[in-house]
Amino acid sequence: MIPSFIFVLNMVVLGIPSALLFIPWCWITGDVLPLYKATRFILRSGCRLAGVRIHAEGLDRIPRDRACIFMSNHVSNLDPPVLISLIPGRTSAFLKRSLMKIPILGIGFRMGEFIAVDRAGSRDEAQRSVEDARRVLSKGVHITTFVEGTRSADGRLQTFKKGPFFLALESGAPCVPVSIHGTEKLFPKGSLRMHSGTAHAVFHTPIDPRDFASREELSEAVRAAIASGLPEWMRS
C-alpha cells in the first residue's frame, strides 16, 4: 500500500496549491497551459515517487505540426497518468461524465476541455461528443482515447468502440496507435493497491484516416498496430 499512499499524498500536497493558484489564473486569463503543465508534473512526479518507471518508445514518431488522436488500449487506472505525462503538447481526452462532477477536479477537466461521454448514452449524445472533440482538435489540441471504452478485465484487447473512428474519419486527424502494458500489474483493475515497477508505452507510426474507405478498415488497422506492441497473451 506504500506506493498507493505516496501517489495520493503527492496528488494532495501538490494538487491543492496548484488548483488554488492556476484555476483562478485560467479564469482570469483564459490560459489553461499553466494548469495543464502543473497537472503533468504532478502525475509524473507521483509515478516516480511511487516507484513507477515509465519506458516509452516511438515518441519521435509523433507529428509536431498538427493535432493527433492518440488511440490506446486500456488495462489500468495508471494508463491516463502515464500517457498524459508522455504526450507532447496538450491533450484532451474522453472521460465519464460523472468525473466532471468531482469538486475541483471536475473544474480542471472542464477548463482543459476534456470531453464528457455517457457509456450508455444515445446516438445524439455520442454525436455531440464527436462534435466537441472536432472543435478541440481544430484548436490544435490532441485527443487521447481508450478505444475499448473501459479497462480490460484480464488485460486482453477488447472490442473497440465506434466513436473514435468516426471522429478520425470526419476530422482527418492522424491516428497514433499506442500500446500500453505493465500497468495491469502495477495497478490491477478492482484493486486499490499500487505496486512499483515499469510501465511500457509504445507510440506507433501515425495512421492517416484518409487512406481508409470505412470505419471498420481504419479500426482494424489501429487494432493491428496496438496489438503489435503488446505481449502475445494480451493480443487476442
Domain housing 138:
53-234
Q: Is residue 140 part of a domain?
A: yes
H-state helical runs in the chain: 2-29, 33-49, 79-86, 105-111, 123-138, 163-171, 183-186, 215-228
At 64, is the secondary structure helix, strand, or coil?
Answer: coil
The 10 Å Cβ neighbour count of residue 191 is 11
Residue 4: predicted pLDDT: 93
Supply the DSSP symbol for 100.
Answer: G
Q: Is residue 141 part of a domain?
A: yes
Task: Report the CATH number that the domain containing residue 87 is assigned in CATH.
Answer: 3.40.1130.10
Residue 233: predicted pLDDT: 96
Residue 199: predicted pLDDT: 98
Number of domains in the chain: 1
Q: Is residue 213 part of a domain?
A: yes
* Residue 187: closest CA among 40, 44, 95, 80: 80
Q: Rounded to two decimals, what is the model's pTM?
A: 0.94
Residue 97: predicted pLDDT: 85
Residue ranges, the chain, pLDDT below 50: none
Residue 123: predicted pLDDT: 75
* Residue 25: closest CA among 13, 35, 39, 40: 35
- Give the integer Cα–Cα distance in Å for 53 and 29: 35
Residues whose CB is less than 8 angstroms from the CB of residue 25 and which lie 6 or more positions away in sequence, other chains included: 31, 34, 35
Residue 159: predicted pLDDT: 95
Q: Is residue 154 part of a domain?
A: yes
Q: Is residue 196 part of a domain?
A: yes
Q: Is residue 27 part of a domain?
A: no
SS (H, E, C) 151-201: CCCCCCCCCCCCHHHHHHHHHCCCEEEEEEECHHHHCCCCCCCCCCEEEEE
Q: Is residue 29 part of a domain?
A: no
